[in-house]
Structure 1
Amino acid sequence: MCTSVAFSAPRKLFGRTLDLEYSFGQQVVITPRNHPLHFHRRSTMAHHLAMIGMATVDRDTALYAEAMNEKGLYMAGLNFPGNAYYTPPEQAAADAVAPYELIPLVLGRCETLAQAEAILKGIDLLNLPFAPGYPVAPLHWHIADGTGSMVLEVMEDGAHLYPDPVGVLTNNPPFPYQQMNLSNYQTLSPHPPRNTFAPELPLAVYGQGMGALGLPGDVSPMSRFVRAAFLKENALFTGDELQDVTQFFHILDGVSMVRGSVITPEGKPDLTLYASCADASHGVYYYKTYENHQINGVRFTEALMDGEALSCYPLENQQHVHWVN
C-alpha cells in the first residue's frame, strides 16, 4: 500500500510513501541519458532523458518504484491488486510493454504530462516479469508535472487515463470511486466549525481541529486518499525551498504506517519503508526512511545526467541524532 502526492506549479513537488512488509533492495538511482533502456517488444533507447528515483538494480537495469526525469515529469507505480490487468504474451500487441518498462519508457521519452498522455492512451501492458523469480506487480500509475497530474489504470476492459485534479493516488478501489468518495467529506474544514446542527442550542467548540471531525484516521486506501487530499489542500507553504520540502514530508507523515499497526494476511507488519519528495524546481530527490527520519538529498546534476553508467546511492538507514549537550 502506498500514497502518492503531486503539487504542480508553482511548487512542483512530487513524491510518495512506499508501504511494504519487506525491503526490495531499494536505493536512489540516476539513469543517465546514454544508459541503454531495453524493452521486450520495442527498440532499445540508446539516448533518452535522464531520470532519478527509487529503484532496485539488477543486470544493470533500474527497476523504478517512482522517478522524475530531467524535465520535471514524475511517475510512480502503486499497488492495485485485483484490478490491474496485463495481457498474456500471446495476445499482447506488438508494441506492448511490461509493467517494469513503463516508467523508463515514459520518463525517457516525454518532457511533459501532455506528451505522456499521448503515448499512454491505449497502452497495452505485457504480462511478463523482469526475470525469473521477480513478481509481476499489479500496479496503477500516478503521472505529474508542473501543469497537473493524471492516473493510468489498465484493467481488463482496457487502459484508462484520468485527470487527477486532487493530485493524490493511493490503491484500491479504482480512481473514479476514490474521487467520488471525496464528496462525503466536503463539509470538513481546518477552521472551527459553525453550528448548523441546531443553531438555537449552545453547542461549544471545546478544542482545536473540530472542523475536521469525520476525517478518517485509519490507513486503508480510501481513508488515506481522503486524508492526503485534505492535508494537501490545506497545507500552508512559505516559499522557502527547504521549508516547503519539509512541509511536503509532513503531509506524507499524515498517511504513513507505524510498524505493528497493520498486519498482513501473512502475519507480517506493513510499514512505510520510505517517503520521497522530488523537487523539480531545484533538481533534487529527497527521501527519509522508517529507521532514519533525517531528510537526505541526492542532487540531479548535469554531470550525472550526461554519463552512461547508473549512479546508485544506498539509503541512509541509520538514525542520526543531533546532540545538543
Structure 2
Amino acid sequence: MCTASNYLTDNHYFGRNFDYEISYNEQVIITPRNYEFIFRKIDDIKSHYAIIGIAAGIDEYPLYYDACNEKGLAIAGLNFSGNAVYQEYKEGMINVTPFELIPYILGCAGSVGEARKLLEEINLVNINFADELPLSPLHWMLSDNSGEAIIVEPLADGLKIYDNPVGVLTNNPPFDKQLFYLNNYRHLSNKNPANTFGGDIDLDEYSRGMGGIGLPGDLSSSSRFAKVAFTRANSYSDVDEASSVSQFFHILGSVEQQNGCTFIDEPDLYEYTIYTSCYNTNDGVLYYRTYNNSQITAVNLNNENLDSNDLINYKLINEEQFNFIN
C-alpha cells in the first residue's frame, strides 16, 4: 500500500511513500531525451522529455514507480488491488500497457492539461512486462507546477479521470469514495474546539490538539487518506527549499509504516515504508530517504547530460548515515 501527495510553497513538491513487503532493488533512474522508448502496441518514441524517478532495479527498461519530467509534470502509481481492470486491445485508441503509462505520459506531456488530453485516448492493455513480472493493479496521481492534480483509475467500464482537490491519494476504495469519506471528518480543526456538549456542563480543555480528536491513526488506506489530507491542508512551513522539503517529508511521515505493524500472509514478512520520495518539480530535483537511511539524499535531473541515449542509474543509499558532532 502507498500514499502520494503534493505540496505548494514557492515551488511545487510531489512524492509518495512506497509501502510494500519486498524491495525490488529500487534505484533512481534518469531517462535522457534520446533514450528510445520501445512500446508493445504503439510506435516507439526516439525523442521525448527527460525524466527522473524511482524504478525497479531492472537495467534495460525504466519500470517507474514514481517520476517527474523536465517540464514539471509528476506521476506516481499506487496499488489498486481488486479494482484495477486492464483491457484488451482496442482499435483507434492509444494502446499502452500499464508499465508503459508513466514513460508515455511523461515523455509526451508537459502539464496535467496535456496529460488529460492524452489519457482521454488511452486504453490500458493487459500485457505483462514479462512472465516473471506480471502487471500490478494500479491507479495513478498526476500533478504539475501549478499544483493541479488528477487521479487516473482503470475500472471495468474504462479509464476514469478525477480532479483531485485535496492533492492526496492512497489505495482502495476508488478515489471518488475516498474523497466522500472526508465528509466524516469535516468537524476536525487545527484549533481546539468550543464546548458545544450541552447541558451547561463545564468541560475542560485539558490538552492542545483536541480539534483533531477523531482523526484516524491506523494504517488502512482510507485512514491514511484522511490523515494526510488533514495534515497537508493544515501544513505550514517557510517557503525556502530546506523548509519546504522538510515539511513535505513530515506530511508523508504522518502515515509511514513501521516494519512489524502490518503483517502479510507469509511468516516474518511485513509491509513497511521502503522509501519516501519528494520531487521539486520546478527544479527537477528528486529527494528521497529509505527505511534504513533517514538522511535525505538528492539527485538533480539537470546535472546530467539530458541529450544522451543511455539510462543513468543511481542505487538508493539504504544504510543509515550518522552525523557525529563530537
Please give the TM-score of this superposition, normalised by the length of structure 1.
0.96
Alignment match, 1:51? 51
Q: Quick one: which amino acid aligns to residue 119 of structure 1? A: L
Alignment match, 2:101? 102
Percent identity reads 41
Q: Which structure 1 residue ranges, 5 or more long, are not aligned?
A: none
Give the 3 Å change call, closer, same or farther, for CA 193–141 of structure 1 in structure 2: same
Alignment match, 1:283? 284
Q: Quick one: which amino acid aligns to residue 144 of structure 2? A: D
Matched residue of 1:105: which SS?
helix
Matched residue of 1:106: which SS?
helix
Matched residue of 1:301: which SS?
helix
Alignment match, 1:153? 153
Matched residue of 1:215: which SS?
coil
Q: State the distance in 2 between where 1:258 and 1:59 align.
A: 29
- The C-alpha deviation readout for 1:194-246, integer Å capped at 9, x for no partner, is 11122722111111111100000001000000000000001101011011101
Give the 3 Å change call, closer, same or farther, for CA 167–156 of structure 1 in structure 2: same
Q: State the distance in 2 between where 1:18 and 1:278 align.
A: 14
Alignment match, 2:174? 174
8 Å CA contact retained: 1:84, 1:155: yes
Map residues 38-77 of structure 1 onto 2, 5 A cutoff: 38-58=38-58, 60-77=60-77
Give the 3 Å change call, closer, same or farther, for CA 324–30 of structure 1 in structure 2: same
Alignment match, 2:212? 212
8 Å CA contact retained: 1:99, 1:125: yes
Give the 3 Å change call, closer, same or farther, for CA 296–310 of structure 1 in structure 2: same
Matched residue of 2:62: which SS?
strand
Once the two structures are TM-superposed, the CA of residue 302 in structure 1 deviates from its matched residue by: 5.6
Q: State the distance in 2 between where 1:109 and 1:252 align.
A: 29
Alignment match, 2:32? 32
Once the two structures are TM-superposed, the CA of residue 307 in structure 1 deviates from its matched residue by: 1.6
Q: Quick one: which amino acid aligns to residue 87 of structure 1? A: Q
Please give the TM-score of this superposition, normalised by the length of structure 2.
0.96
Map residues 283-302 of structure 1 onto 2, 5 A cutoff: 283-301=284-302
Alignment match, 1:187? 187
Q: State the distance in 1 between where 2:305 and 2:156 align.
A: 40
The alignment covers a number of residue pairs equal to 324
Once the two structures are TM-superposed, the CA of residue 59 in structure 1 deviates from its matched residue by: 5.4
1:259 aligns with 2:266: no
Q: Quick one: which amino acid aligns to residue 52 of structure 2? A: I
Q: State the distance in 2 between where 1:113 and 1:199 align.
A: 52
Structure 1 runs of 4+ off > 3 angstroms?
91-95
Q: Quick one: which amino acid aligns to residue 265 of structure 1? A: D
Q: State the distance in 2 between where 1:219 and 1:92 align.
A: 42
- The C-alpha deviation readout for 1:47-73, integer Å capped at 9, x for no partner, is 000000001243521100000000000
Matched residue of 1:17: which SS?
strand
1:123 aligns with 2:92: no
Q: State the distance in 1 between where 2:163 and 2:93 align.
A: 27
8 Å CA contact retained: 2:9, 2:239: no
Give the 3 Å change call, closer, same or farther, for CA 199–323 of structure 1 in structure 2: farther
- The C-alpha deviation readout for 1:162-190, integer Å capped at 9, x for no partner, is 00010000000000000000011011011
Q: Which structure 2 residue ranges, 5 or more long, are not aligned?
A: none
Give the 3 Å change call, closer, same or farther, for CA 291–83 of structure 1 in structure 2: same
Once the two structures are TM-superposed, the CA of residue 88 in structure 1 deviates from its matched residue by: 3.5
Q: Quick one: which amino acid aligns to residue 217 of structure 2? A: G
Q: Quick one: which amino acid aligns to residue 108 of structure 1? A: G
